[in-house]
Amino acid sequence: MNQINKEKRNFVTFVNKFPASRFTSPLKMTTPQYDLSNTLPPHTLTRLAREWLAEDTPNFDPAGLCVGSHEVEARLLCKTPCSMLAGRPFFTAVFTELSCTVEWAHKEGAQLGPNAVTQTAVVRGPARCILLGERPALNCLARASGIATRCSQLQSIAREAGWHGHVAGTRKTTPGFRLVEKYAMLVGGVSIHRQDLSGMVMLKDNHIWASGSITQAVRDARSVCGFSSKIEVECGSREEGSEAATAGADIVMLDNFKPQELHAAAKLLKEEFPSVLIEASGGVTPDSLPQYLSPHVDIISLGCITQGCPVVDFSLKVQKPVPFPIIFQSK
């Protein structure tokens, strides 16, 4: 923690050397102020919920015989204090498929805690149906909330330092679970970067080597993506970044640069190509993020937003029925 505070102080000292106008990136970080569930097509939620349920119960449910289909109530409990709630639409979609209802006590993006246990929602429906949906629904909520919590923490680090660029995720997501994880990034307040290979052209080292040069790769890509897609090029040096920008790249990614090398290269590229966006990537962690913040860097992407990210601990507890007292009347 002392090291992080020291890095923040050093960064603030660095920033004070520049006028405020020079430290403002063309991109602005924003806190979600909308109902982000409106970005999720209903048919997609239904499809995912059915796939998750089919994966978990492809055949018989022997345990369902033990509990039957009488109506019960289950309480959703968060047991990780100071977490951000994310993934409500996916959780609800699972139980909707099972004819259950969910009543939420907290909004999407809410901070849960600081108590050790926070009641988050109540699920009502047939006992066996609640238990059929329990694990798939909890998996979505735990993963999404963990990612959103980490994103929120990263945003806080950047904002406290006065940086106005974009903290961003990557495509390093769990196969088949990308929509949940990208949605969680939005809840946590960071950029999702590109959703998939079709969303934006990114020319990495293997593309460059296979094409023969950065210039050739950019020209080939532009011939098919036209004006409607941006092109980003992964560069290992300032010279490669200059070649990429000259060839027409919209974004130059400075990959695996040490912080001081990054600051110097980004400054020179911005002076030469003011309209080109500069992205820093490779090896950035929550602890080292303050070292990479720069008035000349527009985007910092972190694979650790999804890889190795802690989950939030949720549990679903069916409530025991309260027995009615038997009253004997004397004759």
| Residues annotated as catalytic (active site), given as ranges | 172
Q: HEC states along 173-224?
A: CCCCCHHHHHHHHHHHCCECCCCCCCCCEEECHHHHHHHCCHHHHHHHHHHH
Report whether the peptide linkage leading into residue 41 is cis, meaning its omega lies within 30 degrees of zero: no
Rg (CA), the chain: 24
- Quote the DSSP letter at residue 283: S
Give all strands of the β-sheet with 277-281 in edge-to-edge order: 166-168, 299-301, 277-281, 251-255, 231-235, 201-203
Tell me, what DSSP letter sits at residue 229? S
Bridge partners of 299?
A: 166, 279
Closest listed residue to residue 114, CA positions, set 82, 154, 153, 144: 82
- In the numeric block, which tokens belong to residue 154? 């990263």
Instruction: Please give the Cα distance from 284 to 294 (Å, whole number).
Output: 14
Where do the H-state alpha helices sit in the chain?
2-15, 42-56, 64-67, 88-97, 127-160, 178-188, 205-211, 214-225, 238-247, 259-272, 289-292
- The span from the CA of 165 to the CA of 281, in Å, is 13
